[in-house]
A and B are shown apart, each in its own frame.
Chain A
Amino acid sequence: MIDRQPIDTYARQISDEKQTSVITGSTASTDKRFNALFTDYADPDSLRKLAAKIKDHTLHHLDTYLEQAEASLQRNGVTVHFADSGDDARETVLNILRGHEVTQLTKSKSMASEEIHLNPYLIENGIEVLESDLGEFIIQLDGDEPSHIVRPIIHKNRREIARTFQREGIAEDYNDDPGTITRRARVHLREKYMLAQAVITGGNFISAESGRLVLVTNEGNTRFGMAPSKVHIALVGIEKLVPTDRDLGVFLNLLGRSATGQQLTVYTEFISGPKDDSQPSGPEHMHVVFMNHGRTDVLDSNCREILRCIRCSACQNVCPVYRQASGHAYRSPYGGPIGAVLSPLLFGDRFPELADLPKASSLCGACNEVCPVDIPIPDLLLRLRDKAKRAHIPQPGDLPMTPFATLATSPSLWRTAMTMSKAMNHLPIQVAPVRPLQDWLGQRTLPDWHGGDFRKWLKARKEK
């Protein structure tokens, strides 16, 4: 029996309710994106192409720009760290926290930290971690995993959230009005923010020229978390650089519009160092941890274009496979087309296990069309499929081609098979030897099989 691909299995397991949440959410985001870009610009495509070129340039000179960024940050009073592996990154963060005697912190949404499972590690080591983004906070309460890059709880509906709040004592009664849910979170979270000694953030961009770290959020959680904190740690992938401040304009114009259809995300923060004398408040210590965690392997592959990604989630929202399967089906923090390419590459040791992801695509090309940095995702998916083939990684769902080849090369066998196949009209679908075929047949009625009729017709045909 040929089994389903893991992603299909996931897709079949999610409830109708969850699937509706995901489909409605992602469709709405796709529409907003389109409206924002096409109302504002006559030729938004030229912007995407420009952004792609700037990113390629940066990646092709990554050593130079990383060195420059390091120097700029140090000049601004930031302590710069480098972490090659996930383990290195986790230890580095923990050591910084221990150095400042931090026992309690807030964290704002960061994909880099999700990659290396930073939260559980810090908690095991006795540090109290509070996710400050509303969605991530709910994920934390539920012990769940985010299923979308920008909207981590796209798979949850208001009733589930209301039950969580009641269960966790954040609310005394059950109330599933989204406004009330948000208000309750506001009261609960700000009290906690004020107790934090440190804040951990990611970074959307770093300008190598000025060392400005750019953070974007809609809720204002990062800024709130930063208010009482003495220490700010930014965990940033080494590919997040742009050459100059001027280049930031290109990416800021594209990020909000592509992600949520906003011209700019509500809070766009430029941080270039710890508090100086001119400032009344702000963290006194700032650390930037540049994390590799597989990125140089991607740079060394024929899929390096994926490092242009600015994590906007537009490809995820538009993807028909993601909409059906939801983010968890991709078994990594990155769901949808970006995950299908990035995860098998980034988590190199898990390649065999994730090698089915590049196949979970109909190559319709929508992901490339919406990508603000013009990543040729379908091409990269094909390259990865090829890589899996070369590595001889057997895949559930791979059709055995040998029997077909034998049939197709022997006319007499073919004839017999065609006639015999008429029996298929009367067989139950369960006997189909391939699970995906069973699934497919389960939802469709095929016309009756007429195997061999063409040959009969051809023979009987009179020459004109």
Chain B
Amino acid sequence: MSRDTIFQKIRSALEPIKEKAAHPGFEEAMLISPVRTAGSPVEAFSRNFTTVNGRVMSTLEEVIDLLRAQNHQVGYCDPSLMETLGRPLADAGFEVRTEYCRENYDDYDFGITRATGGIAETGSIILDDAHTSDRLAALSPWVHIAVLSRAAIHPSVPAAIAHLGSSRNIIWVTGPSKTADVEGILIEGVHGPGEQIAFLVD
């Protein structure tokens, strides 16, 4: 049995260590970067999110301009966000579907889903499975629009960890999907979105 063998080996390896290191303990403040958290959480979030090549938006016009400029037409919208963004976009002439059909994952140019939170310090959005209608809808389209409530922005990484919650799957997304595998050159939109948008609401 590997389990017993491993535990036995660990215990016999630890046996000769006379002084076992204690957990050092730490103040959260030590982990927080003063430069990155300067200003209000919304200000810091916007600044840091932009640094990682995300785009912060808060008006319908900004979204429409970007989608038009990049020639996007078809998208998915979480049904509960239809009022906020889905219907206005449909009125502006985009095709907005409220069902994400996995077989046709390549049909969608943009996906609108809910972010459960944000992290100001790092410019990250938090997606929690229990509140994301479909993981792939936030991943497969070229443009992902995360609707984020300003009040849900945590000031720092330690604060976000303290509020992880109980969902079985939580993901922090810090900018568009990227790689530097080819000669160290930064390319965005590898497997996930090439455009990551945080749409701030109250």
Show the binding face of A for B, using Cβ within 8 Å: 21, 24-25, 28-29, 39-42, 46-47, 50, 53-54, 56-57, 60-63, 66-67, 76, 81-85, 88, 92, 132-135, 138, 151-154, 157-158, 161, 178-179, 181-183, 185-186, 189-190, 193-194, 212, 218-221, 223-224, 226-228, 238, 243, 245-246, 248-250, 252-253, 260, 262-276, 278-282, 290, 292, 296-297, 299-300, 304
Contacts and interface: CB of A to CB of B under 8 A. Distances in A.
A348 to B, nearest CB: 13
B182 A158 contact: yes
A275 B168 contact: yes
A25 B22 CA distance: 38
23 contacts: A25-B183, A41-B33, A57-B21, A57-B22, A63-B11, A85-B2, A134-B181, A151-B180, A178-B185, A178-B187, A182-B189, A186-B191, A224-B136, A249-B31, A262-B52, A263-B36, A264-B122, A266-B175, A267-B171, A267-B173, A278-B168, A280-B135, A281-B134
Nearest to B8: A296
Contact of B191 (A152, A220, A299): A220
A190 B105 contact: yes
Given A158-B182, A221-B191, A282-B169, A228 B9 contact: no
B121 interface: yes
B184 A63 contact: no
B192 interface: yes
Interface in B1-20: 1-3, 5-7, 9-14, 17, 20
Contact of A63 (B10, B122, B192): B10
Query: For the side of the interface on B, what is the size category?
Result: 35 or more
Most central of B9, B12, B30, B182 by chain A CB within 10 Å: B182
A62 B14 contact: yes
B144 to A, nearest CB: 10
B48 interface: yes
Contacts of A46: 30
A12 B3 CA distance: 45
A47 B20 contact: no
A219 B174 contact: no
Contacts of A161: 182
A262 B174 contact: yes
Given A88-B2, A280-B129, A292-B2, A56 B191 contact: no
Given A60-B21, A76-B168, A264-B122, A178 B189 contact: no
B124 interface: yes
A410 B136 CA distance: 80
Contacts of A63: 7, 10-11, 14
A185 B7 CA distance: 43
Contacts of B171: 223, 267-270
A428 B140 CA distance: 65
A264 B7 contact: no
A243 B23 contact: yes
